[in-house]
Chains A and B, each alone.
Chain A
Amino acid sequence: MANILLEFEKPIVELEAKIQELKNFSSEKEIDLSDEIKTLQNKADSLTREIYGKLTPWQRVLLARHPERPGTADYIKLIFEDFFELHGDRRFGDDPAVIGGIARFNGQPVTVIGHVKGKDTKDNLTRNFGMPHPEGNRKAIRLMEQAEKFGRPVISFVDTPGAFPGIGAEERGQAEAIATNLTRMMSLKVPVIATVIGEGGSGGALAIAIGDHVAMLENSVYSISSPEAFASILWKDPAKANEAAAVMKMTARDLEELGVIDEIVPEPLGGAHRNKEEMAKILCRSLKKSLNGLMKIPDDKLLEKRFEKFRGIGQFVSG
């Protein structure tokens, strides 16, 4: 059960608390309240379905940023075996906002890489809120090149507000690091599966998301910038983030319609944070399916298809 509540989750959680209360009462006093409990449970389920059936894009942004939403580290624990974390970009340092390493997925050795946000304030400071410096992007591409050498598929998890905007990041070439990742990933001779699990912000997200298969969890978001930055740039008012989210087309459904992603991975009712194990199971099934398909495709065909997929994105009139 989640401890941190979003405004729109409150009615559901209040109802669930009532149910718990009744359950406690009935066991303490040994009174049979199972009918009442069942009625309330049904009510809670339909309320959840109702609220989650009509989430606004902004509410999805909030869900995608939920502090208890499972992250890369959770999925590595729940889905992979024999994980060895590998550190550093061999150039400057080790970026805690990105973790990566070798593991077994469904018996198959793979390289797994993802952004990591903190679970609390202290952890967030360590992880820099999941915002990579150039070192994080360079570590990611180093591990991908290693994966290519040993014929390991790459599985990446995207969960970042964006690449970090700071002095050191600029001095050490944030832009160059992203551009290099995009270019190298386009010719990486192993299958790449990228899944946006929370926030997919801007170039920081894209830098590990050039996949043969790109998926998004149902309540994740993926966009050119945060809605706050978007509102600030276009309307000079970051407080209009809510409105920005509504027009940016940043939800999984929007991106599927725009042809930018290949799959929407459904979340358990009430969002990934309400049932991490169930979420991990669903995600695991999705990854298995796409990996099995991709591993059958010869390298050159794989690269051709990867390029054509991104090559085809864009809307214009040739004139």
Chain B
Amino acid sequence: MFKDLFRKPKYVTVHADTAKKDIPEGLWQKCPVCNEIVYTKELDRDLKTCKKCGSYFKMGAWERIKATVDEGSFNELDAGMVSINPLGFKDYPEKITSAQQATKLREAIVTGEAAIGGRPVIIGVMDPNFIMGSMGSVVGEKVTRAAERAVEKSVPLIIFSASGGARMQEGIISLMQMAKTCGVLARLDKAGLLFISVLTNPTTGGVTASFASMGDIILAEPGAQIGFTGPRVIEQTIRQKLPEGFQTAEFMLEHGFVDMVVPRSQMKSTLARLLDLHSTGGYKNG
């Protein structure tokens, strides 16, 4: 449930004096975890990692692409695809327009052809800042087309998820994107192609319950919130506090739903090595 994006991490303590400080937009940013004031240029250079506490700032889709693929290799697919309003939901078109203006994106995912460590891939990167990375028709369609392109080109698929789940404003149509994306992954699987799913903060709801959980290999960023139902809804339902560290990447690793927790600084090299291990094809006897 994407409302849990609003949930503050439990370990945040905002002291009155630091909270009052006005940080000018752009030049400096404040770490949401330790409140350290970080120089934006440094932050960008350090893959949006707080130099004091090591926690991660949210990464936009383009920042992630830049940090992940070989320079100059990215060729965007379906760049112009935009949502319409299938339910005729009030204020939804305005919400999309303002998200587009705020993020300079058309939708909550950017997909394209690229190379990582010289190996060709199809990559999709979700952006948690675009209506909380929620999946409606466009995200569903772009993931599906990306997987279809991977099958067509016979190359691996990599998707970085960051999503509050299915997009409420598109109702049942959003729910059906779960079926659609899983359907195309069944085809990718049948074609014997590699799918690496990378779970970043946060990956919840209908995205976790569809394509993001279907990776041959599932990687997660340290500390990322990963789960199905958001913590607040669980607490309301069962009327008890959730244990410390519940629904983190580390929790998911411990419970067997993630293969590796990979620090941001090692993500690209990890992907490159995994792609390399899959590049020669499998052993075939006879």
Which A residues lie at the B interface, using CB under 8 A?
A: 163-167, 169-176, 178-180, 182-184, 186-187, 202-203, 206, 210, 222-225, 229-230, 232-234, 247-250, 254-255, 258, 260, 306-307, 310-311, 313-319
Interface pair A167/B246, CB less than 8 Å apart: yes
B237 partner, pick from A166, A255, A316, beta carbons under 8 A: A166
Total B residues in contact with A, Cβ cutoff 8 Å: 65
Closest Cβ neighbor of A232 among chain B residues: B3
Contact in complex: A172, B255 (CB < 8 Å): yes
Q: Which residues of A contact B186 (CB under 8 A)?
A: 183-184, 186-187, 307
> Chain B residues with Cβ under 8 A from A166's Cβ?
234, 237-238
Q: Which of B84, B172, B179 contacts A186 (CB 8 A)?
A: B179
Evaluate contact between B190 and A170: CB separation under 8 angstroms.
Answer: no
Partner of A187, one of B80, B90, B190, B205: B190
When the two chains form their complex, are residues A317 and B81 in contact, meaning their CB atoms are under 8 A apart? yes
Contact of A170 among B183, B184, B246 (CB under 8 A): B246
Contact with A along B51-89 (1 / 0, CB 8 A): 000000000000000000000000000111111101101
| Contact among B171, B174, B213, B256 with A179 in the assembled complex (CB-CB below 8 Å) | B213
B50 near A: Cβ within 8 Å? Answer: no
List chain A residues, Cβ under 8 A from B214. 179-180, 183
B-chain residues with CB within 8 Å of residue A316 when the two chains form the complex: 81-84, 137-138, 141
A224 touches B175 (CB 8 A): yes
19 contacts between A and B (CB under 8 A): A163-B209, A163-B228, A165-B237, A167-B246, A169-B229, A174-B209, A179-B208, A179-B210, A179-B211, A183-B183, A203-B178, A223-B172, A224-B168, A247-B87, A260-B176, A311-B183, A315-B173, A317-B81, A319-B79
Q: Are B89 and A258 in contact (CB-based, < 8 A)?
A: no
Residues of B within 8 A of A249 (CB): 87, 171-172
Output the least CB separation between B257 and chain A (Å): 5
Measured in the bound complex, the distance between the Cα atoms of B72 and A94 in whole Å is: 53
Please report whether the interface of chain B is mostly helix, strand, loop or mixed according to DSSP: helix
* Among all A-B residue pairs, the 6 with the closest Cβ atoms: A319-B80, A165-B229, A182-B182, A314-B137, A175-B208, A179-B213
- Residues of B170-206 at the interface with A, using a CB-CB cut-off of 8 Å, are 170-180, 182-187, 189-190, 205-206
* Least Cβ–Cβ distance between A187 and chain B, in angstroms: 5
Q: Are B171 and A248 in contact (CB under 8 A)?
A: yes
Q: Which residues of A contact B106 (CB under 8 A)?
A: 319
Q: Which residues of B contact A184 (CB under 8 A)?
A: 186
- Report the Cα distance A234→B3, complex, angstroms: 8
Contact A229 B210 (CB under 8 A): no
Write the chain A residue with the least CB distance to B174.
A224
- Say whether B234 contacts A165, CB under 8 Å: yes
Point out the residue from A163, A178, A306, A314 that lies within 8 Å of B177, measured CB to CB.
A314
Residues of B within 8 A of A173 (CB): 213, 255-257
Asked whether, in the complex, the Cβ of A225 is within 8 Å of the Cβ of B81, the reply is no
Q: How far, in Å, is B266 (CB) from chain A's closest CB?
A: 25
Q: Are B182 and A179 in contact (CB under 8 A)?
A: yes
